[in-house]
Chains A and B, each alone.
Chain A
Amino acid sequence: MNLYKYASPSNFYPLAGKLIPWFATPAAILFGVGLFVGFFIAPPDFQQGDAYRIMFIHVPAAWLGMFLYVLMAFYAAIGWAFNARLASMMASSISITGAMFTFLSLVTGAFWGKPTWGTWWVWDARMTSTLILMFLYIGFISLQSSIDDPRRADRAGAVLALVGVINVPIIYFSVQWWNTLHQGATLRLLGKPSISGSMLWSMLIMLAACWLYSVAVVLIRVRCIILEREQNAARFAEVTI
């Protein structure tokens, strides 16, 4: 099977259409299971009581906000370096979902901060760097929509995305590099997680659900972008002929 043929938007369009239900359906199921485990099985925290349950949406949203930015920058770089139209379209498609999850992480974090820290917002390292991530997403989206020529818009967006990627490790390591209100990492690659059983499972299931949801939505949006760009190209051809 020649996978390179799917690098062409016209070949990828039907494939994306076939893939969407395979991501959307498990996402809906896992959202249900994750919320069930989080609200019905996981016990209240001994310090924070039930307020900690915000974690089941806050942590996956924050992780996805960061991960989707790296993925967006990767696709933007591929599109820029190899003039791959589909990769640039993927970057555009990812940006809106990434911005949505980053915004969600900030808002749900504020909802969690008020009962636990006594304030909706503080300018600590992690929150400030996450706000910068949000501005980077907004900048990428605004820059792309302000340039009429899609190729030029893709190139300009790629530069911004690549410069901004430096912010992702800053967000991740901010709790180690600076004194912040945020706790340290809950999950470690080599160490034991600092939360127990059902709480951890609920968070991981919600993370999987958010991830599958993101893939489904990005595929739906990239199909729209493919069609829009084709329609614009056709309109341009009609005008010039």
Chain B
Amino acid sequence: MNWPDLSMGGYGFYVWGAYLFSLFAIVWELVSLSYRKKAQAQEKTSRQVLRGNANETTS
């Protein structure tokens, strides 16, 4: 096992830049998916509440 030279032989900006960008892209995808799921859950809850209110007013 070789400990990698963090400066990547002078190419650190390019190598770490590429991996950091990839990490951001993956995190962005996962975070946007979790927001999408949360928004769905909220909409489901609000629709249930609205339906409940509608039932109360009509009964």
Show the binding face of A for B, using Cβ within 8 Å: 39-41, 43-44, 49-51, 53-54, 57-58, 61, 96-97, 100, 103-104, 107-108, 111-112, 114-115, 213, 217, 220-221, 224, 227-228, 231, 234-235
Contacts and interface: CB of A to CB of B under 8 A. Distances in A.
B25 A227 contact: no
B48 to A, nearest CB: 11
A100 B27 CA distance: 11
Contacts of B1: 40-41
Interface string B10-44: 11001101110110011011100100110010011
List the 10 shortest-distance A-B pairs measured between CB atoms, nearest first. Answer: A111-B18, A50-B8, A51-B11, A49-B9, A108-B18, A50-B9, A54-B18, A39-B4, A111-B14, A57-B22
A107 B21 contact: yes
Contacts of A97: 29
Interface of B: 1-5, 8-11, 14-15, 17-19, 21-22, 25-26, 28-30, 33, 36-37, 40, 43-44, 47
A111 B17 contact: yes
Given A107-B21, A111-B21, A213-B26, A54 B14 contact: yes
B30 A217 contact: yes
A221 B14 contact: no
A220 B14 contact: no
A156 to B, nearest CB: 22
Nearest to B33: A220
A97 B26 CA distance: 9
A234 B47 CA distance: 10
Contacts of A40: 1-4
A108 B2 contact: no
A221 B44 CA distance: 17
Contacts of B26: 100, 213
Given A104-B21, A217-B33, A51 B14 contact: yes
A136 B38 CA distance: 29
B11 A104 contact: no
B8 A51 contact: yes
A51 B3 contact: no
A227 B36 CA distance: 11
Contacts of A53: 8, 15
A221 B11 CA distance: 36
A115 B44 contact: no
Contact of B2 (A43, A104, A111, A112): A43
Contacts of A43: 2
Nearest to A108: B18
A231 B21 contact: no
Contacts of B5: 50
A196 to B, nearest CB: 15
